[in-house]
Structure 1
Amino acid sequence: MLQSMTGYGKSEVNTECLKISIEIKTLNSKSLDLFVRISPRYRNKELELRKIIGDQLLRGKVDFSIAIENLSADNNSRINLNTVQGYIANLEELNIEGSKLDFLKMAVRMPEVFTNQEVEISDAEWKLVIDCLTSTLQKVNEFRQEEGGSLEKVLQEYAHNILNLLTEIEKYETERIDGIRSKLQKQLLDLQVQFDEQRFHQELIYYIEKLDINEEKVRLKQHCKYFFEVMDTDFQAGKKLGFISQEMGREINTIGSKANHPEIQKLVVLMKDELEKIKEQINNVL
């Protein structure tokens, strides 16, 4: 079963004095691109959190945030009094109109006014954070699996369309060869020159062999078969499916260059359209 790189999950846990919320959003990306918004309380745990997320999500653009709501009267934020007084003194030196209260309101908006005291995180609290993260990651992966199921159905449909169009090409192959033979004969007759009939047929066979597309058809069918196998067996299949689709494109292009028939050319264009749809969807496969 495929997995999409698009996912979402959110979980909350409570301690005696804190409400902890973790939210994760994921989008497609060629590699793991992890953006973290984390409370200063857990800043020293950031590397550990990154490793857990990376091990679970593997690839994609990941937006991770952990927020804390203080449920008690205690707060580890403190006002840096010396900094505030310094800002007020500087404002007074500017000789601008305003009361002490006005200057205080401006000063508390300045940088480094509030400081956070280091708080030792208990093992019990950290376990709750990890449990919350695990729950969120599980929700993200469930979302990804659901989206991946939808992607798989769409990709199967597009690949089957290519195989159906390939079958349609077979209807025109005899007509194509006959057309080439008639065209060459007409051109020789128009030239009004003598030619060896046996030599003409030898050259015709050589020319038709150059335009033969049976090998391309066989390889394209094999690529499509492998495409289905990878979707069924590999949940992290995005890059591999991308490589297979490139090989499919090479065979379709070669068939088009050898087609020499208007109806086959139309079918090749339709096959290319289906292949472009495949490539677009693969960009979101894990």
Structure 2
Amino acid sequence: MVHSMTGFGKGVCELPNKKISIEIKSLNSKQLDLNTRVPNLYREKEIEIRNKVGKKLVRGKVDVSFYVEAASSDKITKVNQQVIKDYYAQLKEVSTNLGLSENTDFLKVIMPLPDTVKVELAELDEQEWKAIAQAIDAAIDDITLFRQSEGKALEVDIRHRITTIDGLLQEVPKYETQRIDKIRNRIKENLEEIALQTQADENRFEQEIIFYLEKLDITEEKVRLSNHLKYFIETLESSDVVGKKLGFITQEIGREINTLGSKANDADLQKIVIRMKDELEKIKEQILNIL
């Protein structure tokens, strides 16, 4: 089944004192480009988060964001009493030496000084993390469903365009006979003009015609293009991650179409080739979004 690289998923974790929403967004990318926005309390679990998300989403530009609504902060603020006592003792001594008033508010002077207050992060509770991990899994499942839905739409469009190219390929034979006759007559007319001025060897003429027509023969290109189109559909139906593989197959399809165009030597065939190229370009654009 084809999956798109574009998607959005969300998981919510309701805890007694906080609500955590995990959002995962993804866009197309050549490889996995994973970015996380995780609160400091959960930083120790970042590698686990990246492994969990990367294993399931495989490829794309992926952003994982945590949004926390908490009744209290994860930071614990404590007054550093020992530091304040040391400051006070020193200031008291200076005050006595200078004969300053006993009514001086030392705390107002001390509290803005360095290290009087220390901030500690709360420790992560493992039960809380288990609940959050489940919310991450829910967000991954949500974005996976989104990618599947987008992938179905992409697959329908791409199948239609591959079918269109195959249909155009089926039109090629009806122009081949008249194309060969046109080329043969054009060469013969040119040589007849030359023959008026010089003697032409009929055997050599036939040999040159055969050689020229062999160079313009498109049988191999038609067979290879047909095989590539079939292989493309087989790959599209695979359960594997197929985005890159489909990209390689479209390159091969493009080569055969280009060769058809260079050998066409016929206005009607050139029109068919142009329509094939137009469909192929649209397929390439769609494949950029396939996982």
Q: How does 1:134-149 map to 2 (within 5 A)?
A: 134-149=137-152
- Structure 1 pair 243–190 and aligned structure 2 pair: CA distance change class (3 A): same
Question: 2:267: which partner in 1?
Answer: 262
Deviation digits for residues 155-212 of structure 1 (CA, Å, limit 9, x no counterpart)? 1111111111111121110001001110011001112132222321222111101110
Q: TM-score, normalised on structure 1?
A: 0.85
CA contact (8 A) 2:236 2:242 kept: yes
Which residue identity is paired with 1:134?
D
Answer yes or no: is 1:70 the counterpart of 2:73: no
Displacement of 1:282 after TM fit?
0.4
Question: 1:25: which partner in 2?
Answer: 25
Answer yes or no: is 1:151 the counterpart of 2:154: yes
Tell me the distance in 1 between the aligned counterparts of 2:183 and 2:268: 14
Displacement of 1:115 after TM fit?
7.4
Displacement of 1:45 after TM fit?
1.0
Tell me the distance in 2 between the aligned counterparts of 1:26 and 1:74: 30
- Structure 1 pair 116–50 and aligned structure 2 pair: CA distance change class (3 A): farther
Tell me the distance in 2 between the aligned counterparts of 1:268 and 1:79: 76
CA contact (8 A) 2:13 2:131 kept: yes
Tell me the distance in 2 between the aligned counterparts of 1:115 and 1:32: 40
Deviation digits for residues 68-126 of structure 1 (CA, Å, limit 9, x no counterpart)? 2113x5652539999xxxxxxxxxxxxxxxxxxxxxxxxx9xxxxx9752222222111
Bigger radius of gyration:
2
1:117 match: secondary structure? strand
Answer yes or no: is 1:170 the counterpart of 2:170: no
1:209 match: secondary structure? helix
Which residue identity is paired with 1:78?
T
Answer yes or no: is 1:199 the counterpart of 2:204: yes
Once superposed, what is the RMSD of the aligned Cα atoms?
A: 2.2
Tell me the distance in 2 between the aligned counterparts of 1:126 and 1:281: 39
Match of 1:280 among 282, 285, 290: 285
Question: 1:111: which partner in 2?
Answer: none
Which residues of structure 2 form unaligned runs of 5+? 84-111
Question: 2:220: which partner in 1?
Answer: 215
- Structure 1 pair 268–167 and aligned structure 2 pair: CA distance change class (3 A): same
Question: 2:88: which partner in 1?
Answer: none
Tell me the distance in 2 between the aligned counterparts of 1:117 and 1:276: 57
Which residues of structure 1 form unaligned runs of 5+? 83-107, 109-113
Question: 1:49: which partner in 2?
Answer: 49
Which residue identity is paired with 1:180?
I
1:233 match: secondary structure? coil
Question: 2:108: which partner in 1?
Answer: none
Answer yes or no: is 1:125 the counterpart of 2:138: no
Tell me the distance in 2 between the aligned counterparts of 1:79 and 1:187: 100
CA contact (8 A) 2:76 2:121 kept: no
Displacement of 1:20 after TM fit?
1.1
Which residue identity is paired with 2:172?
I
Aligned residues: 257
Q: How does 1:82-121 map to 2 (within 5 A)?
A: 117-121=120-124
Tell me the distance in 2 between the aligned counterparts of 1:165 and 1:207: 25
Question: 1:3: which partner in 2?
Answer: 3
Deviation digits for residues 189-240 of structure 1 (CA, Å, limit 9, x no counterpart)? 1121322223212221111011100000000000000000001013411000
